[in-house]
Structures are given as structure tokens and as C-alpha cells.
Amino acid sequence: MNTDMEKVYSIIPARGGSKGVPGKNIKPLKGHPLIAYSIAAARLSKTIDRVIVSTDSAEIAEISMNYGAEVPFIRPAEFAKDNSSDRDFMVHAIQWFESNEKMIPEYWVHLRPTTPLRDSSLVDEAIGIIRKNKNATSLRSGHEATESPFKWFLADEKGFFVPFRSPEGKDYSNMPRQMCPKVYIPDGYVDILLSSVIAGGESIHGRNIHGYISPYCVEVDSQNDFDILEYALGRKSSPILDYLNNNYKGKE
């Protein structure tokens, strides 16, 4: 496997099917398809060398190319099912580049279209972190949980609530939230994967996942999420939306 240890490609996965919100990945948000926001974030990065969209949809492919992404292949249907894993489309992409370009990048910046509002400088910061940490097998972003699961309960077979306990036996359920360990919710702000880890047969994230504490971000999983983002962008624009408006009017 010919791997370029310096190259960084962004990969944006976008299936044509979506049960929650039909056509979600190309549904307009303030005049631009949802996927355009992730493409723009990658294009505004100072570190990402190429922006790749992996899709099974010819329509998504055309829209993605109109917004400046490369779509060098159409993802096979067997890797674009409801139960397909992230590993499926990553392995397919790696194999395609190895077969067709004889070279694959070591670093893949995985940007989900469902997290449209990113700061590209933070994406670059995350890339810098994993490049410096040679023991990391991947990087995943997460924002701090506002409510600690350490204060939650399990229910036993008799219907009684049982508090979570630490390995040392601490019962956090009656402690102030500030005394509980900090917990982070994985989000789609930025994930970074390594070709060498994926090719090694492990999970795509490997065993040493470096954390990246991201700002809170709205992930689009429902029409209500779209409505929240439309309202928020109506009150305050974003660098991503400004870039799209200045460069891609009428191309949605």
C-alpha cells in the first residue's frame, strides 16, 4: 500500500437515502444544499489537500461538484445501505484510490454533512493535533455534556432505581454536578481517520482515540433541526454561509 504520510484528504459521506428527512443531504439551508456547508468548510481549510464526496447518488454527486468537491467514484449500493457502517465507505474509498491513483493519503478528515456549521480553523487545529501525536490511531470531536450521566439511574428487575457508582464505589447521584467527572458527547464536528489503522483490520478509530473538545454544534437529524438552523442563521450569519453566498449563488 503506497501511503503518502503528508497528504490530508477530506471525505464527506452522503447517501441518497434518508428516512428521517427525505433528501436530507441536499435539502436547502438558507439557499444552499446541506452538503455544501461541509464542502465549504473543507475548502476553507488551510491543511486539507483534496475534498472528496462519497455518495451513491448521481444527483448528490453533481451538486457536490458544483460546490467544488471531487466525486471520483460513485459508491456501490452495497456500501450505502441503512445498516452500512462508516468502515464500509472508508475501505471502499481507500481501495479505489489505491487501485486508480496508486496512492492513498494517511489522513482522512471525516466531515458529516449533518454538522453544517464548522470553523475551518478548528478543523486545521485538530489536524495539527493528530499529526503531532504519533500514538493516536484517530481523533474524534465531542462537546461537554451539560447534564452528567453519572447522576442518572439504572432500574433493577424490581423497578428500583440504582445509581451509577465509580470503580471506587462513589455514588455521584447526590453530588453537585461540578464534582462529577466531565463527560463529552461525540459529535460530527471533525473526525480524523488513518489509512494505516483502517488497513490494519481494526475498527476505523483504533484503540487510541485522541479527543478534540469542540464547540457545541447542531446536528441535523430532523426537520426541527433544520428549522433551528434556519432561525439561527437568519439572526446571525456564519463564515461558511458568507463564503457560499459570495461564491455559489444560484448553484444549488
216-241 burial: b if 16+ Cβ within 10 Å, else e: ebeebeeeebbeebeeebeeeebebb
Global pTM value: 0.89
List pLDDT tens digits, range 154-202.
899 999 998 877 667 778 787 777 788 888 999 999 999 999 999 887 6
The sign of the CA dihedral 207, 134, 199, 65 is positive
Mean pLDDT, the chain, whole residue set: 89
Q: The cell 491543511 sits on which residue?
A: 47
- Taking phi first (over 0 means left), then psi (-120 to 50 degrees means alpha), and beta for anything else, what does residue 50 get? beta
HSE at residue 117, side-chain half, CA atoms within 13 A, is 21
pLDDT at 137 over 60: yes
Closest-CA residue to 117 (of 230, 211, 8): 230
φ, ψ of residue 45 to 5 degrees: the values are: -65, 145
Give dist(CA 97, CA 95) in Å, integer.
Answer: 6
List pLDDT tens digits, range 29-71.
999 999 999 999 999 999 999 999 999 999 999 999 999 999 9
What residue type is assigned to position 114 of the chain?
A: T
What pLDDT is stored for residue 252 in this prediction? Answer: 41
**How far are the Cα atoms of 38, 76, 137, 239, 248 from residue 252, in angstroms, in the given order?**
14, 25, 37, 18, 8
| DSSP 8-state code for residue 19 | S
25-43 burial: b if 16+ Cβ within 10 Å, else e: bbbebbebbbbbbbbbbbb
List the domain boundaries for the chain: 3-142+185-247, 146-181
CATH H-level superfamily of 3-142+185-247:
Spore Coat Polysaccharide Biosynthesis Protein SpsA; Chain A (3.90.550.10)
C-beta of residue 61 within 8 angstroms of C-beta of residue 55: yes
